[in-house]
């Protein structure tokens, strides 16, 4: 039974189209730098925002009706969400989805019953996957919504709650493997603290690492060959979260020997909450060989929280795709961890959010490819460090064949070194505008 009745399959109509339910830039088969857009941009739908969230916020109840004709909180509703989700992804040409355990079934009072429901719904999802060819990008366990996780999951002070979290991770891994997921995510929403006055940071971090190690051991034992991901976020809901940003998460993974099995899932709005640009966290991940997947969304410069908006900012999407192209692509994909604004509560709005996001990233891809082909940025950076490639002393520094003593003796002969050359930021920013708007 068709759920989104008045909404046709979304087609590419080109930049001149005024049809809100058509792609202006995302042309799945268009080839950019040797690969199709579809290959460059493995888009995913986030089950939670798209099929569960109804606009409820701290100040008011939901506005959007996501019952899909069933009583919310029942297994019939869980199945209706599967039907809605697959129809939605098919109509948009989205190849992947991401889920938390409790997005796909209502949580029962007893975990044995929740797990039974997960088995039942994942059978149904698997059928739909076979029918449509749509795949699972990643799964995860929600270890932040239930009150038992108020002090964290891996970082909790309660051994029983830790055990419960472990049980959820185990089951979420089972389901992710059953659905052929490419990755498995840890987003540590409550893995942090409200005050140091009641917190043993070292103990909590050791325990988070213990949970992750057990997840790796179990995952590998049941045939999971994909990547585990940490999704860094500095704060919200906790005042301070341990996976603050890419650099912090990489340090943590290396300190505990988890860096071979984990990569990062970088979310735009999390990077900006950490006081970075999106592209900063992508670059830090990429240069450390840990850029795995992306949660595509954007925040609001004037709001200090995680607004999870559909990406609209083409500058940022261009800089993101520049990083992704330079890194040779993602092993994961682009999950729209994004939700419609509360007043955009219709089914049509759900589609238009994705049309906006997919078009924004398609434009970002086109423009990032042009930037690379243009070559001026690359050329400038190469020139900027040329003294290390051309001068004798520069070559010695880079090859590690010198010492403070030798460099000090060299500096004695320099007098006052010449200024290091202009950074030319304004010229480079002009090149970006030139490529974006020519």
Active site residues per annotation: 100, 103
Residue 214 is encoded by which pair of tokens? 């057990």
Q: Minimum distance from CB of 369 to ligand XUL (Å)?
A: 28
Q: What is the per-residue binding string for ligand XUL in 172-191, x denoting contact by CB under 6 A?
A: -------------x-x-x--
Cβ 306 to ligand XUL shortest distance, Å: 5
Interacting partner of 50 out of ligand XUL, Co ion, none (Cβ under 5 to 8 A depending on kind): none
Residue 1 corresponds to which tokens in the numbers above? Answer: 């039974």
Could you write out the three-class secondary structure of 80-143?
HHHHHHHHHHHHHCCCEEEEEHHHHCCCCCCHHHHHHHHHHHHHHHHHHHHHHCCEEEEEECCC
CB of 92 to ligand XUL, least distance (A): 20
261 binds ligand XUL (CB under 6 A): no
Pick from 191, 227, 295, 359: which binds Co ion (CB under 5 A)?
295
Helix (H) or strand (E) holding 165: helix 159-178
Give the pair of three-digit tokens for residue 205. Answer: 């971090």
Tokens of 163: 């055990």
Query: Which stretch in 8-16, 252-260, 337-345, 348-356 sits in contact with Co ion by CB under 5 A?
Result: 337-345
Please state the closest distance from residue 140 (CB atom) to ligand XUL, in A: 5
Kindly tell me which residue out of 306, 309, 323, 359 binds ligand XUL, with binding defined by CB under 6 A: 306
Dist. CA 246–CA 243, nearest whole Å: 8
Contact status: 337 vs Co ion (CB under 5 A): yes
Binding residues for ligand XUL, total number by CB under 6 A: 11
Contact between residue 290 and residue 245 where contact means Cβ atoms under 8 Å apart: no
Residues 128-147 that bind ligand XUL (CB under 6 A): 140
Region for residue 4 given its phi and psi (left: phi exceeds 0; alpha: psi -120 to 50; beta: otherwise) = beta
Residue 402 beta carbon to Co ion: minimum distance, rounded to whole angstroms: 45
Closest CA to 206 of 257, 139, 171: 257
What residues make contact with Co ion under the rule CB under 5 A? 267, 295, 337
What residues make contact with ligand XUL under the rule CB under 6 A? 100, 140, 185, 187, 189, 231, 233, 267, 295, 306, 337
């Amino acid at each position: 039974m068709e759920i989104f009745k008045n909404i046709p399959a979304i087609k590419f109509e080109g930049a001149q189209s005024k049809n809100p339910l058509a792609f202006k830039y995302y042309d799945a088969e268009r080839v950019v730098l040797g690969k199709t857009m579809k290959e460059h941009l493995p888009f995913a739908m986030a089950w939670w925002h798209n099929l569960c969230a109804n606009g409820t916020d701290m100040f008011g109840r939901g506005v959007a009706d996501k019952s899909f004709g069933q009583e919310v909180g029942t297994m019939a509703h869980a199945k209706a969400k599967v039907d809605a989700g697959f129809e939605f992804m098919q109509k948009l040409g989205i190849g992947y989805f991401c889920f938390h355990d409790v997005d796909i079934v209502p949580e029962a009072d007893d975990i044995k019953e929740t797990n039974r429901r997960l088995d039942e719904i994942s059978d149904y999802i698997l059928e739909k996957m076979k029918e449509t060819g749509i795949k699972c990008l990643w799964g995860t366990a929600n270890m932040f919504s239930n009150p038992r996780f108020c002090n964290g999951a891996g970082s909790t002070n309660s051994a029983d709650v830790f055990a419960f979290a472990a049980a959820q991770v185990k089951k979420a891994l089972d389901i992710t493997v059953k659905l052929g997921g490419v990755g498995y995510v840890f987003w540590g929403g409550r893995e942090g603290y409200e005050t140091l006055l009641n917190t043993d940071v070292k103990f909590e971090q050791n325990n988070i690492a213990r949970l992750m190690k057990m997840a790796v051991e179990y995952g590998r034992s049941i045939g999971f060959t994909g990547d585990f991901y940490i999704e860094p976020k500095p704060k919200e809901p906790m005042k301070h979260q341990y996976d603050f940003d890419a650099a912090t998460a990489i340090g943590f993974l290396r300190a505990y020997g988890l860096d071979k099995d984990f990569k990062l899932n970088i979310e735009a709005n999390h990077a900006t909450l950490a006081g970075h640009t999106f592209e900063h966290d992508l670059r830090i991940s990429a240069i450390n060989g840990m850029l795995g997947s992306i949660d595509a969304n954007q925040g609001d410069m004037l709001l200090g929280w995680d607004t999870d908006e559909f990406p609209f900012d083409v500058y940022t999407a261009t800089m993101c795709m520049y990083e992704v192209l330079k890194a040779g692509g993602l092993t994961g994909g682009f999950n729209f961890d994004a939700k419609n604004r509360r007043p955009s509560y219709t089914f049509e709005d759900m589609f238009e959010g994705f049309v906006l996001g997919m078009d924004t990233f398609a434009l970002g891809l086109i423009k990032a490819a042009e930037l690379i082909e243009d070559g001026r940025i690359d050329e400038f950076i190469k020139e900027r460090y040329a003294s290390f490639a051309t001068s004798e002393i520069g070559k010695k520094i880079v090859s590690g064949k010198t010492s403070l003593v030798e460099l000090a003796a060299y500096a004695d002969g320099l007098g006052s070194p010449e200024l290091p050359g202009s950074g030319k930021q304004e010229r480079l920013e002009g090149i970006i505008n030139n490529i974006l708007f020519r």
